[in-house]
Amino acid sequence: MSIFIQKKEKPIVELIEQHANKVLETVGAAREAFVFYIDGEQEESRRLTKKIHECERHADIIERKIEKEMFEGAFMPAVREALYITLEFVDKVAKRAEIIGDFLTLVHPHIPKELHSHVRHMWDLTYKCGTKLRDGIHNLFDKVDLVFQDTAEVENLEGAVDEYAWEALTMIFKEMNIEKFSHRMMLREMIVYISEVSNMMEDASEKLDVIALRLKS
């Protein structure tokens, strides 16, 4: 099912899709930065943390353009309000990715090999979660019925990330031989930061459901 879009709204729809793409690119850069980091390729990891900032900044620029266009009266008021809120939550995904990139660069954590697999799985699932959120946004004005499938997948993938996060935290505090408590807390902070990216995706997907329902009504 496609939603009728007025001529003045089409450029905004394109910007919303561009914003979703850029947010996903930000998450992808964060994922790659972590993979290179645990593989010992520090220079490449640092390069990607710079890319995270560039992508997040670009996403912010697109967000401001969208807000300006919508302020001038695009979309029905109820849909416009929901779009504002959803856009804010989607943009927070990029900001969460930026935070974890800064953590990697500034803290330069020692990540024990026992955690490498969990970190990889968390990021792989987080990126898949991000692709489903992006797909939901792209389908919003073209194939609105598919949005609910996309958001359901976001919820499932976020749950899978949480499972790996819980396993990792259990390892950190109950199974691994880590001498300093401060090191345990630093690793806990890292795991929480990673899981917060998909948590924010789930929050955004819930707002997306609301818009889809309003567009269909």
**How many Cα atoms occupy the beta-carbon half-sphere of 210 within 13 Å?**
16
3-state secondary structure of 110: coil
Domain boundaries, the chain: 7-216
- Which segment of 11-15, 29-33, 169-173, 213-217 scores lowest on mean pLDDT? 213-217
pLDDT of residue 96: 95
In this structure, the number of other CB atoms found within 10 A of the CB of residue 63 comes to 20
3-state secondary structure of 217: coil
Q: Residue 119 has which token pair? A: 């970190």
Do residues 90 and 23 lie in contact, with contact meaning Cβ atoms separated by under 8 Å?
Answer: yes
pLDDT per residue as tens digits for the range 166-200: 999 999 999 999 999 999 999 999 999 999 999 99
pLDDT per residue as tens digits for the range 50-94: 999 999 999 999 999 998 888 776 677 777 777 888 899 999 999
Going by pLDDT thresholds of 50, 70 and 90, the confidence category of residue 1 is very low
Q: Residue 91 has which token pair? A: 């943009």
Going by pLDDT thresholds of 50, 70 and 90, the confidence category of residue 2 is very low
CATH number for the domain formed by residue range(s) 7-216: 1.20.58.220
